[in-house]
């Protein structure tokens, strides 16, 4: 009986290709994930850069972008141009935000609105500014409108002069349509006062501020929650008190048109103290 001869099995020398293919597949997947992650980060940075660019363009700091997109879509598109397409809705939203006279939060006017407001006040009170009865100054906490005593109050009195009422009416007309918060601050010089009406500069400065607030509310329909008053007496001068000119500049009522983003260093009004010793 013959036995069948077994054929010798040939060893498969290409089995390593299976492991190699698995390794290449894993490497490919790894680099695809890494590439995708890097693109996400670049997109976030691109969106942030686009928002900043639009804001600065509107404020006149940067020139408008002249990025041009390719006419043919068969050519590869650079990442920066892809961001321009993807951020078109963001740019339109930022355009509306920056160009609007109102800020996005709480309907508070934007910073750019203070510049236009200053221009409108300068036009309305041009005669008083020319006579140095009114002064405007941009400060860290907003726009400050100074009504000097020479044009608006008699010496030692908290009542507005009758011939100053037309200027107040023009000012109220400009401010009433802008929902900025107004802080009315009364100031005096360092000359002591003793009268039957006011025992100290604290009382005089506070009375002038509160009287102006009453006129805004009762005469021109200002909302009370937009207004606040403070009396500073002679302790916040804008000029030296050793000359008549300096003392005249210090006798004033400041209308502080508060910035939408006030600095934390804003000085708080001094609470009137009727028991304080006479400062004038």
Dihedral in degrees, nearest 10, Cα atoms 103, 106, 107, 110 = -30
Output the pLDDT for position 244. Answer: 93
Model confidence pTM above 0.85? no
Q: DSSP label at 267?
A: P
Angle at 67 between CA 66 and CA 71, to 5 degrees: 120
Token reading at 260: 């939408």
List, in order of start, the domains of the chain with CATH numbers: 16-99 (no CATH), 111-258 (3.30.1330.60)
Cβ atoms of residues 241 and 247 within 8 Å: yes
All residue ranges of the chain with pLDDT < 50 are 61, 67-86, 94, 97-109, 262-280
Output the pLDDT for position 2. Answer: 57
Q: Is 103 exposed, middle or buried (0-12, 13-18, 19+ CB in 10 A)?
A: middle
Output the pLDDT for position 135. Answer: 95
Output the pLDDT for position 93. Answer: 53
């Amino acid at each position: 009986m013959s036995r069948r001869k077994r054929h010798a099995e040939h060893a498969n020398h290409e089995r390593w290709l299976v492991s190699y293919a698995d390794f290449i597949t894993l490497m490919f997947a790894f680099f695809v994930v890494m590439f995708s992650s890097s693109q996400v980060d670049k997109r976030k940075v691109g969106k942030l850069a686009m928002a900043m660019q639009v804001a600065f363009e509107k404020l006149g700091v940067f020139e408008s972008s002249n990025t041009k997109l390719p006419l043919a879509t068969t050519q590869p598109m650079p990442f920066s141009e892809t961001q321009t397409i993807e951020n078109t809705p963001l740019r339109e939203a930022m355009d509306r935000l920056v160009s609007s006279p109102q800020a996005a939060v709480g309907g508070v006017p934007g910073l750019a609105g203070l510049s236009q407001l200053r221009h409108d006040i300068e036009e309305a009170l041009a005669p008083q500014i020319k006579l140095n009865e009114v002064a405007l100054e941009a400060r860290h906490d907003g726009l400050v409108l100074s009504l000097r005593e020479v044009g608006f109050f008699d010496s030692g009195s908290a009542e507005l002069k009758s011939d100053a009422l037309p200027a107040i009416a023009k000012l109220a007309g400009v401010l009433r349509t802008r929902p900025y918060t107004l802080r009315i601050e009364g100031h005096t010089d360092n000359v002591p006062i003793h009268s039957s009406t006011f025992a100290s500069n604290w009382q005089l400065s506070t009375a002038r501020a509160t009287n102006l607030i009453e006129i805004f509310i009762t005469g021109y329909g200002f909302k009370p929650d937009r207004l606040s008053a403070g009396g500073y007496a002679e302790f916040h001068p804008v000029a030296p008190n050793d000359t008549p000119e300096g003392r005249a500049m210090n006798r004033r009522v400041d209308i502080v048109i508060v910035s939408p983003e006030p600095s934390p260093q804003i000085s708080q009004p001094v609470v009137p103290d009727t028991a304080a010793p006479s400062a004038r």
